[in-house]
Each structure stands twice: as C-alpha cells, then as structure tokens.
C-alpha cells in the first residue's frame, strides 16, 4: 500500500490522544506524512508519523523529515498488527508482433529493379546488444529511444524525478535514504513518499526503507515523511515529546506536574520546559489532572506530580517533582494513560493494569479502594492494545477493535445502554469490533473506526458528542460532518477535537475561553473548523484538555488555544486565545 493511501490496517488498532488519556503511543494507525526532499514520517509509535522524499503520531513533535500523534498524548493506541495492503494483480498485455521485413523482388522485371529489401538488424558482437540501428556495449551503455547512451551510476539522481537503477537505466522513481523506489511507490503528488502505514492513530509505520537517512521517520498517511509527534493536554498543563525523544511540559505546576524539580506558587511555566532526566528515548507522554507519565526506551514507565491516592504508582502517596519509576513497569509498557486521579498501562503481554483513585471502580478490579501500585484489571483477555483513562472511568481497546469501559456511569459514559456504575470491564454497545482508537474525556468517550468515522457517547450538555444535539447518549452515536475522514480524535472535559485525513483540525462542544479555536466563544454542537488549521496546515497531532487544546502543524508548529491562566498555551503569556497561537518551534 502506498503512503498516500487511506486504507487502514484491518488488524491494527490505533490510539487517539485525549484529555486524561495516554499519548499517541501514535500514532497512525492508515494515513501518514513526508515529501521528496523531506522524507515521510508520522506517528512510530504514528504516529500517529512522521523527512526526505517519502511515522506515528502522535504521537511526538518534530520537524518534517514525526504523533503524535501522534498526536497528542491522549488516548493510548495500539501497535498495528500486520500491514494492510492491496496486492494489485495487474496483468500485462502480450507483446505485439513486429512487422515483417519487405520482400525483395525475386526476378527483375524488364527494365525494372527488384523490390526494396527490409532494413536488416545490425550485426552485433557477443558483448553488445541491438539498439535500433546501433550496437550498444553491454558493460557501459544502455539503449534509450533506439540510441546507445552511457550507463548512469546506480542509486543517483539522473534527471527530474528520475533515479538510476542497477541496470544503469535512468527511470522515474525516488531516492529515499539511499534506497531506490519505483514510480508506483510515489504518492499522487509525486512527493516521493514510500512507506507502508500501519495503524493510523498509533502513528507508527513499517517503512519499506528508512524515510530519512538517519531512520526513525514515519508516514503520516497523507504522503509526507516526518518525525513522530506526541502531545498530551490535561487539567491545566500540557506535555509533548520532541523529535529528539525529550519530554517538555508547561502550564500549571502546583504539584510538580511539569517535572522540572519545582512546584507550588510561582512555579508555573508559560513556555515548554524540559522534564528532568527525560532528554531522550521517550516515545509516549500522557497528562492527567495534576500528574504526568511517560514511556521510555524498553517500555519503562515513569510518572511525576500529584500522588494523592497513589496515582504515580510507586507504592507511595508522596508527591514527586521529577519522574519516578512506576512499580513493576521497568520494561514492556506499550500504552499509558493518565486520568484525572488514576493511571492505567498496557503491557507487551496484552495485560491491562491500573492504579490510583478507585471510588467509582475505575481501576476495574471489582472494588472501590485506591491502590498505589499497578493492579491487573479483571475479566479481560490478554489482547488489550490501548487504554484511555477519564475522570472516574476507563476504557480499553483490543487488537480486534473491541471497546470495553468501566467505572462511573452517571452520564452513560460506559456505553452499555444504562447509567449504572460498573466495577469491572463492560462491553460498549455495538463496539464488539471495528474500533482503531479510543479516547476518554471527563464524562464522555469517542472511538475512531478504520473508515475514519468518529462515534461518541456519554455526557453531552455542551454538544461534545458532535451529533448536533445536547442530549446525553448511553450508546455510541455518529459524529456529524467528519469529512474526508478522521485520523485521530481526542476527548477533553466538555469538548472534543480531531484532525482529518486532509490535515485540517476540527473541534466541537463547550467553547468557554475559546477552547474550540474557532475565533469565538460560542459552543458548537457539530465539528467546526479550527482557525488557520485548514488542510494546508498539515496537522499531525491534536489534544483536547480541560479548557484548552493543542495541535502540531507541519506549517505552524506547536499551537495551542483556549484558557491560559497558568501558561498552558505555552506562548509565554497567560492570555486566553480563541484562535491557535504558536507555543514553540522546538518540535
């Protein structure tokens, strides 16, 4: 499948970034990002994607060459399964028969000559090949348009949109990271993208070759190769992973959630600030109410910030201002999601573990007592690939696209058609399969399908379900106006954001302080275009938080909008904005 394809890997499940959710572990995954002179990336863990000619999102900020992704550290996504691709069986037609040479006259007519003979092929030596009326030397020449020309050097650019092949011929194609790709691997706009996408929201790709000369790039699904992007937005702070794998956070820092070793009054950060000790190797970041978590190389999970009820998972309830090792998760963590007051992780064995506050059964262990260390969720097969933690509930996603939720259900956020709390995982109505990403907001949830549709359920007082009403739903309903199909979705407190296959961003729901980014503070019950984040902006990651939102655009960079009283927009001020403002360009 070529990079520009919109096909989604049928067996892969992706992750969408959400408020209180794990990051685009993205991203991504079905769609991707790169350009001939920039290679494609996306989301690797997307994202979900994402430089020279050619993740995952998702999810991670980076320059065009990633999310995050990715998107956005929101809901954690699953690593895609086997690559999806269409095997085109194109049968070539038979060679046409060549014309016969003209016959010479056998008997000269009286006063007339014989008929003209046909043109004879040249007599070439054993180390030569016939080329029209010439003989080409096999070792140094090739035949082009019935003329002998010198062979070009393999793996070099030999003309506009042409690359020299092993045969010495100069043919249409693309040179990516030292590897040659045929014209069929180049996207429709001839940007030389050549990678095969995995799960869209996961922001991961399995490239046919490195998208850039250093590797590490992913396909964003729209024909560009970029470093993976990841961003996550929480209560009043935000975090992201840079293209170098470093974590940076900004905004409210009352409990050390920014992770720079400070906390309390006067410790807020209004620009992205490096998290202590996390300068490289990080693939996922996820932000909760007042705590943050990340996945490091090898699957090591660390958390920092508020530790009430043991939400950091280190066996204590003591606040940590720098990253702390999560108990028993030194390796193997593949998805991570920080909720309002609890945290959950998926292991490489497909197990789901949760810890922290449990007053509504959000830990899924059949009880309501808090836990300060990871505890396995009951009743799930070991096939979980992604998790997203909300305020008082949690949702999971399996490799087959099944979605289950548990915990608080007063607004129907469990999605089982009732409003009864559930202490163990419960099947969401109609989502036994088919989902590729899940995101949990405060009291509503959304999923993304392989076809790019978004379905949401739960609380809808502000139109956060996007179906044109303000009526809550205890079962999933289809979001209106998702065109041409979404790549990632993120659920916040009372609003939701997504970005489309063409790169534009849209948000809907509550709009106090301009959190929808549409240039006003009027709520929208259906998806509305975010100002300046049109298709030309090439959005590759998005995240919705409590009262603000952020996105990564390959044109604008890291942008945020909405409430900004603690500097959570990252632009060096504390002034709210109802349109995106540039937060940083370090990605």
Per-residue pLDDT of the chain (587 residues), as tens digits, is 223 333 333 333 333 333 333 333 333 333 322 222 222 222 222 222 222 222 223 332 333 333 333 333 333 333 333 333 333 333 333 333 333 333 333 333 333 444 444 456 788 998 999 998 899 999 999 998 889 999 998 878 777 667 788 888 888 766 554 566 665 544 433 333 333 332 222 222 223 233 443 444 444 444 455 555 789 999 999 999 987 789 999 999 999 999 999 999 899 999 999 999 999 999 899 999 999 999 999 999 999 999 999 999 999 999 999 999 999 999 999 999 999 999 999 999 999 999 999 999 999 999 999 999 999 999 999 999 999 999 999 999 998 999 999 999 999 999 999 999 999 999 999 999 999 999 999 999 999 998 889 999 999 999 999 999 999 999 999 999 998 788 899 999 999 999 998 889 999 999 999 999 999 999 999 999 999 999 888 888 999 999 999 998 877 889 999 999 999 999 999 999 999 999 875 56
**DSSP assignment letter at 191:** -
What's the whole-model pTM score? 0.68
Q: Which CATH number fits domain 325-584: 3.40.1390.30, 1.10.3720.10, 1.10.10.60, 2.130.10.30?
A: 2.130.10.30
Q: Which residues of 389-409 are buried (b: 16+ CB within 10 A; e: fewer)?
A: bbbbbbbbbbbbbbbbbbbbb
Residue 501 and residue 222 in contact, taking contact as beta carbons nearer than 8 Å: yes
Name the strands in the sheet holding 342-347, side by side, starting at the edge strand that comes first in the sequence.
333-338, 342-347, 352-356, 371-376
- Whether the upstream peptide bond of residue 484 has omega within 30° of 0, thus cis, is yes
Neighbours of 209 (CB within 10 A): 16
Separation CA 342–CA 132 (nearest Å): 76
- For residue 363 the two structure tokens come to 């830990």
Residues 6+ away with beta carbon under 8 Å from 153: 164
What is the rounded radius of gyration, in angstroms, for the C-alpha atoms of the chain? 28
- For residue 208 the two structure tokens come to 């046919």
């Amino acid at each position: 499948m070529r990079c520009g394809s919109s096909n989604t890997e049928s067996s892969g499940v992706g992750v969408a970034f959400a408020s209180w959710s794990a990051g685009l572990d993205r991203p991504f995954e079905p769609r991707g990002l790169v350009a001939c002179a920039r290679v494609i990336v996306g989301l690797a863990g997307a994202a979900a994607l994402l430089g020279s000619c050619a993740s995952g999102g998702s999810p991670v900020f980076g320059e065009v060459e990633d999310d995050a992704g990715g998107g956005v550290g929101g809901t954690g996504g699953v690593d895609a399964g086997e690559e999806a691709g269409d095997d085109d069986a194109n049968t070539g037609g038979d060679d046409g028969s060549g014309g016969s040479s003209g016959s010479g006259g056998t008997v000269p007519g009286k006063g007339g000559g014989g008929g003209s003979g046909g043109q004879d092929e040249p007599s070439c030596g054993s180390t030569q090949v016939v080329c029209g009326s010439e003989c080409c030397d096999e070792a140094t020449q090739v035949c082009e348009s019935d003329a002998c020309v010198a062979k070009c050097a393999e793996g070099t650019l030999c003309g506009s949109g042409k690359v020299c092949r092993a045969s010495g011929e100069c043919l249409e194609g693309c040179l990516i990271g030292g590897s040659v790709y045929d014209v069929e691997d180049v996207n429709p706009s001839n940007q030389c993208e050549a990678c095969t996408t995995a799960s869209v929201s996961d922001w991961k790709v399995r490239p046919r070759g490195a998208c850039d000369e250093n590797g590490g790039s992913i396909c964003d699904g729209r024909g560009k190769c970029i470093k993976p992007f990841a961003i996550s937005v929480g209560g009043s702070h935000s975090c992201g992973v840079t293209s170098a794998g470093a974590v940076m956070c900004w905004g409210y820092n009352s409990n050390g959630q920014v992770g720079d070793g400070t906390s309390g009054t006067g410790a807020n950060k209004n620009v992205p600030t490096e998290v202590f000790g996390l300068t490289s190797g990080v693939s996922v970041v996820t932000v909760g109410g007042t705590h943050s978590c990340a996945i490091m190389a090898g699957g090591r999970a660390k958390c920092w910030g508020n530790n009430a009820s043991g939400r950091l998972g280190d066996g204590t309830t003591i606040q940590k201002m720098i990253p702390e090792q999560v108990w028993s998760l030194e390796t193997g963590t593949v998805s991570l999601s920080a909720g309002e007051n609890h945290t959950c992780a998926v292991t490489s064995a497909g197990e789901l573990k949760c810890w922290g506050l449990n007053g509504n059964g959000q830990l899924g262990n059949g009880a309501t007592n808090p836990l300060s260390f990871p505890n396995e969720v009951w009743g799930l097969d070991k096939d979980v690939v992604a998790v997203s933690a909300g305020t008082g509930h949690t949702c999971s996603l399996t490799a087959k696209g099944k979605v289950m939720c548990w915990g608080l259900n007063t607004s129907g956020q469990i999605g089982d058609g009732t409003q009864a709390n559930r202490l163990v995982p419960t099947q969401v109505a109609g989502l036994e399969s088919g989902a590729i990403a899940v995101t949990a907001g405060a009291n509503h949830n959304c999923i993304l399908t392989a076809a790019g549709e978004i379905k949401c359920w739960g609380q809808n007082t502000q139109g956060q379900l996007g179906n044109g009403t303000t009526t809550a739903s205890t079962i999933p309903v289809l979001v209106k106006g998702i065109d041409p199909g979404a790549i990632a979705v993120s659920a916040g407190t009372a609003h939701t954001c997504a970005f489309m296959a063409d790169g534009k961003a849209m948000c809907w729901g509550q709009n106090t302080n301009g959190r929808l980014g549409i240039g006003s503070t009027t709520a929208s019950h259906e998806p509305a275009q975010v100002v300046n984040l049109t298709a030309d902006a090439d959005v590759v990651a998005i995240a919705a938080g409590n009262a603000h939102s952020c996105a990564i655009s390959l044109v604008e960079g890291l942008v945020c909008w909405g409430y900004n009283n603690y500097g959570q927009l990252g632009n060096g001020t504390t002034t709210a904005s109802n349109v995106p403002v540039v937060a940083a360009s370090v990605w």
